[in-house]
Structure 1
Amino acid sequence: MAKRRSSFVEGALILGVSGVVTRIIGAFFKIPLGNLLGGSGMGAFTVAYQIYSALFLLSTAGLPVAISKMVAEARGRGCPGEGRRIFRVALGTFSLVGLLLSAGLWAAAPKVAALVGSPQAAPAVRAVAPSLFLVSVAAVIRGYHQGLGDMVPTAVSQVLEAVGKLAVGYGAAVFLLNRGCSPAQASAGAIGGVTVGSLLGCLYLLLHPGEEGDENKGHGLSAGRCLVRLLAISLPVMAGSLVLSLSNLMDMAIVMNRLQDIGFSQQASGGLYGTYNMVATLFHLPQTLITALGVSLIPPLSGALSRKNRMLARRLSDSALEFAALLSLPAGVGFCLLGRPLLELIYFARPQDCALGAPLLTILSPGVFFVAMTTMTNAILQAMGRMRTPVYTLTAGALCKLGVTWVLTAKPTVHIGGAPWGTVCCYGLITLLNLRALRRAGMGVSWDKVFFRPALAAGLMGAFLILLRLPVEGALGPKWGFGALTLSGAAFYGLMLLAVGALPREDILLLPGGKKMAKILRLK
């Protein structure tokens, strides 16, 4: 059956839109749920979700990347049947792993909850336990479809998961509270929505047809070698994820303790860190599209490399980095210049937090670009088979982050500002190390195309906003002025991209409707 083949940019747009929708649904779930359950109920919910997240990482981290890479390579060699074999081996193995983790967490829920100091969270832990089996199955199927270049199943299943979590989780929590259950018991119903959402996403993926092929066609891998290769690719990705997760936990502990060392109370330290997390949530929003771009890049780049087509691989790599720069640079400039009105628009009920958070967002603004480059260079290195390199660079970045945060947070003139400085230094270092690794691997970057021209356009946009801000805000006020500045800045940025030649025809053609756009813009 003929399948629609999307370019990696089209695939990124599909995943990016689903990511934005999923984040919006998540916000509609967590905010009212907190009002409904209160502190004790949300405490039990959070404990169960953190335990689930840790085991989820162990069961699925790196799995979609590994499967999509191997399937794309097999297709690049003209062996689609080998891709089916990879899929079947992965599905059988990791379904069993997920089943064992689900059963183990269900049986040990009371002990696990007591171990982390929250025995009342045991029902919630049990309610989320079946999800581990479901997400393991879903991760395998998503990786397979991504390897085929089809991002729609991943996108639709993610939205179904989010909708199920919202509708069932919130509805169950309301029902249990109305029946006289405690907030901790109602949290089990709330997190049960995660399990139902996972079930909906998994059922959709199971019903979505894949590509048929004779598994015995060609000289494919044996089942044993296939499993070894899957683990060899996925384990380093999982290690990198664990490094960042652990560094974030340690970073939180460092910030809280160092703030108290210089005289802040425990309550004040928690408030400062809460404000920083509020800003950090906003800081990570632009990465939704960048992450989708990285996921979409791995299959075509792996396929090009398997066919030893270095020219195509280099072109894909440069285009992916360029699109990441085109998206992240204006976002960073916007955070730097319009951070305060943006925060006040979103967190209008917390003016004091907005006043404190605006300088933190300004510090973080260069990090938007560095996080985007980290995501894309990691994806390129993984597609090239250099799975360990991101682990080393992520570890170096995490150590840098902890060191910078430790030193700066203890300075009374900086205090909570040390946390965003640590983040910027972390991802800046990772970006430099990854670019160096790509150059040594023969995949050097076209600096003029990828960095200089998009940076010039973003810089001109920043100058335009500085000149326009005072008169616009004076005439329209902060709220409407922010909207007008955002729209005019985006339009001016687009014009500057064309003026400096940062949108070549070959990149425009990668976009949906690219031929028409290139004709309208008269790009030769």
Structure 2
Amino acid sequence: MKDEITEPRPSRLLKGAAVLALAAILTKLLGTLQKIPLQNIGGDGVFGIYNTVYPFYMMIITLATSGFPTTISKFIAERQVLGSEAGKRAVLRMAGLMMGLLGIAGFSLLYFGAPLLSQAIGSSQLIPALQNAAPALLFIPFSAVFRGYFQGLQEMVPTAVSQVTEQTVRVVVMIILLIYWTGLGAADDVIAGGAFAGSAAGGAAGLIVMLIFWSRSYKVRERAREQRLDSILTSDESELTRMPDQIESAHLEKGTKLLLSMLAYAIPVCLAALAVPLISLVDAFTLPRLLQSRGVNDLQAMVEVGIYNRGVPLVQLVTMLASSLSVLFIPALTELRMKGDLEGIRRQRATALRWFGLIGLAASVGLALLAQPINVMLYEDALGSTTLAWIAWTAAPGALVTVSAALLQGLGHVRAPALHLLVAAALKTALNALLVPPLGITGAALAGIAAYGAAAALNLALLARRTGRARRGARAALAQLLRPAAAVLAMACAVLLVRLGAGALPLGGGRMAALAESLLGVGLGAALFAAVVLRTGLLSAAELSALPRVSPRLMAALRRLRLLR
């Protein structure tokens, strides 16, 4: 207890935020990269089945891991301030009841509703995967309850350890089962079902970790309660008369009233979070049927869906980086908004949009130009390289959607980004129906570019209305366009030179040659891009020095090379 008192609260919050941010990055990275061995071992048919089922699974998991832990942590923190263990137990019981019912409902939907869902999508291949994904929903909601509890006590390590353990076990078990079932020569739907069995194993492992932390915490709380009772018994009469009033104040909300209060807080957050996987759900519902309308059978449609999803993990790495870094702007913008510093808000907005716009644009251009060698390097063949190149162009608007949503949240507009993603999902549905029948999976990629572009445009338009448009002269506006264009052009030239050089050399067409071409193209392109960004002042010395792990020696070296103004 002494350590908790002496440690400043802001320090604990920053440490907790850092721990959760690191855990989020690790889990997202594992979740993204695990799709590469999934395709390599299982093939495009298994990959297609997995990526068709995954959005349904994620919709329910999002409900369990977005709004409710935040709600639980809020209610636990309030009762922690009041010093009410009974109040915290009441919140925990009510949360456990809610999440248990949600988990059972999700399990029933996926397991017993698998035939109906697969029929609605238009592929009987999905039934084993849907049913094998269902058991995870019996574990993960309960983990979310305990995570919310510990976060309410400002203890972030249990959540971080549980998240990383869950994802690690999920990926390891998935790969083991993939190797086992493919070794037996099982059908694609059976192999995909085995891959989803890893989710149940990961969910169980994450819950076990939380139960271990809970058990240790319970013993500590019991010792503290005994010490507190001893101190009360030895205290004066005024202390004894003050305690019942304090304890009673922590019991103002019970039963139905507590349930309604928690739901009122959690549901808006959950609905906003559900908008994120909605575009993936559009593809899950529309692509199989639309591809079958082109004359392919059920299994071949799943193969094409798998080929289409080859580029998705690469784009997700960019959006994951944007998501992890964009949260840094939320507290700063909130503080500026409360101070009424409109000019400061505009500077933060310009910096964030410039950084992430450049990251997204560079990623889109690089992935598009290196689509074929990257495809061979990661997935063994060049099938769908043209589609992968088009999917690469969702990285730029995707990064802008992420950072602009964070900026709007910092300004107090929490629901608007979710509504804009709903509009984007509706546009994706319409364009899929229009473009997939004549163009196949390339049509779906083009629809994705338009959908994310629309969401980014809506977010940026709202930002401009709320913060005011920057006033620039014609020359300044032209410079704002020419400098990023010069950086992207330099990178594109470097990548094209690598591609031409690789084509002229007798490297062969295997994965090692593709690996060399991809890494050289990425390395040279990124180096030239960074050099032009620094030389043209797109990234200032002050902004660069504010980044973590940028030493004064590096700054001095960049100045000697005349790369930094």
Query: Which of 365, 370, 389 in structure 1 is aligned with 2:392?
Result: 365
Other-structure match for 1:386:
413
Q: Which amino acid aligns with 1:140?
A: G
Match of 1:61 among 55, 58, 66: 66
| Structure 1, 478-487 or 46-55: larger mean CA deviation | 46-55
Name which of 289, 309, 323 aligns with 2:321. Answer: 289
Matching residue of 1:513: 549
Residues 322-341 of structure 1, C-alpha deviation per residue, up to 9 Å, x if partnerless? 33223222111111111111
Cα distance between partner residues in 2 of 1:239 and 1:266:
33
- The one of 529, 538, 542 equivalent to 1:502 is 538
- Cα distance in structure 2, aligned partners of 1:81 and 1:171: 46
Q: Which runs of 5+ in 2 are unaligned?
A: 119-125, 184-189, 218-245, 247-251, 508-512
Contact 1:390 1:434 in 2 (8 A): yes
SS of the counterpart of 1:464? helix
Question: 1:48·1:124 contact (CA, 8 Å) conserved in 2?
Answer: no
In structure 1, what is the equivalent of residue 460 of structure 2? 435
Q: Does 1:376 align with 2:403?
A: yes
TM-aligned CA distance change 1:452 to 1:177, over 3 Å: closer
Q: Distance in 2 between matches of 1:122 and 1:410?
A: 26
Q: Report the CA distance between 1:203 and its aligned residue.
A: 5.2
Describe how 1:296-307 pairs up with structure 2 within 5 A.
Answer: 296-306=328-338
Deviation at 1:504, TM superposition (A): 1.4
Structure-to-structure mapping, 1:107-118, within 5 angstroms: 111-112=112-113
The answer on 1:484 being equivalent to 2:520 is yes
Task: Report the Cα offset of residue 503 of structure 1.
Answer: 1.3
**1:416 lines up with 2:416 in the alignment:** no
Residue by residue over 1:81-102, the C-alpha shift from the partner in whole angstroms, topping out at 9 and shown as x without a partner, is: 69x9999997665444213334
Q: Which range moves more in the overlay, 463-472 or 239-248?
A: 239-248
Residue among 221, 239, 251 paired with 2:271: 239
Residues 316-335 of structure 1 aligned to structure 2 (within 5 Å): 316-335=348-367
| 8 Å Cα contact 1:142/1:205 also seen in 2 | no
CA distance in 2: counterparts of 1:158 and 1:393, whole angstroms: 29
> CA 1:191–1:364 in structure 2 vs 1: closer, same or farther (change >3 Å)?
closer
Aligned pairs for 1:166-315 within 5 A:
166-167=171-172, 190-200=198-208, 202=210, 235-243=267-275, 245-306=277-338, 308=340, 310=342, 312-315=344-347
Aligned to 1:97: 98
Report how many residues are paired. Answer: 492
Question: What is the CA-CA distance between 1:276 and the residue it aligns to?
Answer: 0.8
In the TM superposition, what whole-angstrom CA distance separates every residue of 1:373-407 from its partner, at most 9, and x where no partner exists? 11111122223221221232112211221222222
Q: CA deviation at 1:123?
A: 8.2
Q: Distance in 2 between matches of 1:389 and 1:408?
A: 28
* Aligned 8 A contact 2:133 2:196 in 1: yes
Q: Which amino acid aligns with 2:447?
A: G
Unaligned runs of 5+ in 1: 75-79, 210-215, 217-221
Spell out, residue by residue over 1:162-220, the C-alpha distance to the aligned partner (whole angstroms, 9 max, x if none): 22324567779999999xxxx799789644312223225535876999xxxxxx9xxxx
SS at match of 2:546: coil
Q: 1:458 aligns with which of 465, 488, 505?
A: 488
Evaluate the alpha carbon distance shift between residue 472 and residue 6 of structure 1 in structure 2; reply closer, same or farther with a 3 A threshold: farther
For residues 249 and 303 of structure 1, the distance between their equivalents in structure 2, rounded to whole angstroms, comes to 36
For the Cα contact (< 8 Å) 1:294–1:375, is it kept in 2?
A: yes
Change (3 A) 1:163 1:9: closer
2:374 matches 1:345: no
Residue identity matched to 1:197 = A
Q: What letter matches 1:401 in structure 2?
A: K
The answer to whether structure 1 residue 163 and structure 2 residue 200 are counterparts is: no
CA deviation vs aligned residue, 1:40-93 (integer Å, no higher than 9, x gap):
xx98x999977654432333334567799x89xx9xxxxx969x9999997665
Partner residue in 1 for 2:450: 425
Distance in 1, matches of 2:289 and 2:29, equals 35
TM-score norm. by structure 2 comes to 0.69
The Cα offsets for residues 101-148 of structure 1, whole Å up to 9 and x where unpaired, read as 345567898745676579978985674243233342255368769xx8
Residues 366/127 of structure 1: CA separation in 2 closer, same or farther (3 Å cut): closer
Partner of 1:212: none
How many Å separate the matches in 1 of 2:323 and 2:158?
17
Q: State the one-letter code of the partner of 2:100.
A: L
Contact 1:98 1:132 in 2 (8 A): no
Residue aligned with 2:539, SS: coil
Q: Counterparts of 2:88 and 2:484 in 1: how far apart (Å)?
A: 40
Kept in 1, the 8 Å contact 2:405–2:417? The answer is yes
The one-letter code matched in structure 1 to 2:558 is: L
Where 2:467 maps in the other structure, the secondary structure is: coil
Q: Which moved more, 1:5-14 or 1:135-144?
A: 5-14
> Could you say which residue in structure 2 is the equivalent of 1:470?
500
Taking the aligned partners of 1:81 and 1:315, their CA distance within structure 2 comes to 37
- The 1:318/1:127 distance shift into structure 2, 3 A limit, reads same
Computed over aligned residues only, the root mean square deviation of the Cα atoms, in angstroms, reads 5.1
Of 28, 34, 48, the match for 1:19: 28
- Aligned to 2:377, the other structure's residue is in SS state helix
Distance in 1 between the 2:411 and 2:305 partners? 38
Q: Which amino acid aligns with 1:338?
A: L
Residue aligning to 1:406: 433
Q: Is the 8 A contact 1:59 1:94 kept in 2?
A: no
TM-score by length of 1: 0.73
Q: Is the 8 A contact 1:302 1:384 kept in 2?
A: yes
Cα gap change, 1:383 to 1:223, in 2 (>3 Å): farther
Are the counterparts in 2 of residues 302 and 383 from structure 1 also a CA contact under 8 Å? yes
> What displacement does 1:456 show?
3.6
- Counterparts of 1:172 and 1:246 in 2: how far apart (Å)? 29
**In 1, are the aligned partners of 2:114 and 2:131 still within 8 Å (CA)?**
no
Kindly, what percent of the aligned residue pairs are identical? Answer: 24
1:23 positional shift: 3.5
1:215-269: CA deviations, max 9, x gaps?
x9xxxxx979999897667544433444454543343443333344444454544
* 1:470–1:273 CA distance, 2 compared to 1 (3 A): same
Secondary structure of the residue that 1:284 maps to in structure 2? helix
